[in-house]
Amino acid sequence: MTAPPPSAPEALPNGPGAAAILAAGVGSLALGACAFAGDASPLVRKGFSLWIPTGPLSGVTLAAIVVWLAVWFWLSRRWARRDVNLMRVNASSFMMLIAGLLLTFPPFMDLLLGK
């Protein structure tokens, strides 16, 4: 008698993975938006200077990481056992990633600020 072939484990819902992907997109956009806000406004720049030796970069990155982790935590709880439309999640995530990357590019920042 031969042993039965190994069977694949039950497919996991895509919700937890989608939560991680969308949160990475939101975190990327938050990073770009915070960098842009720090560049655009002296008041924001001063507010982001949480640790003087590193200057505004300390606040920009900390804010982006807090947003990223908070969104990831929230989405992972909401989507823990659900299947979601990954095509929409991917499209949103990549749009936010591209927007975030553009917002850190100094010539693009200057263009938006009319410099």
Nearer to other proteins, 1 or 52 (CB): 52
Nearer to other proteins, 6 or 42 (CB): 6
User: 78-86 contacts: CB < 8 A, separation 24 or more?
Assistant: 78/15, 78/19, 79/13, 79/15, 79/16, 79/18, 79/19, 80/13, 80/15, 80/16, 81/13, 81/15, 82/13, 82/15, 83/13, 83/14, 83/15, 84/14, 84/15, 84/18, 86/14, 86/17, 86/18, 86/21
CB of 87 to other proteins, least distance (A): 6
Note the residues at the interface with other proteins (CB under 8 A).
Answer: 6, 8-9, 11-12, 14, 16-18, 20-21, 23-24, 27-28, 31-32, 35, 51, 53-55, 57-58, 60-61, 64-65, 68, 86-87, 89-90, 93-94, 97, 100-101, 104-107
